Amino acid sequence: MTISTVFPPVTLIRSTLERHVLDLYEADGSTLKAYTSWPGYYQLPDGSRTPAVYVTGASMVPSNWAITGIECVIEDVPEIVSPGSVSGVVSIESWNVRFTNYGTKEGTRMPISMLDIQRRIARAFPRDQVTYMARTEVTFEALTARIRGAVLNPPIP
Q: Where do the domains of the chain lie?
A: 10-152
Give the pLDDT confidence score for residue 107 in this predicted structure: 59
Give the pLDDT confidence score for residue 85 in this predicted structure: 63
Q: Which residues contact 56 (CB under 8 A, 6 or more apart)?
A: 73, 74, 75, 76
pTM for the whole thing?
0.85
- CB burial of 139-154 (b: ≥16 within 10 Å; e: otherwise) equals eebbbebebbbebeee
Give the pLDDT confidence score for residue 1 in this predicted structure: 42
Reference 151, options 73, 111, 97, 95; nearest CA is 95
Mean pLDDT of 140-146: 94
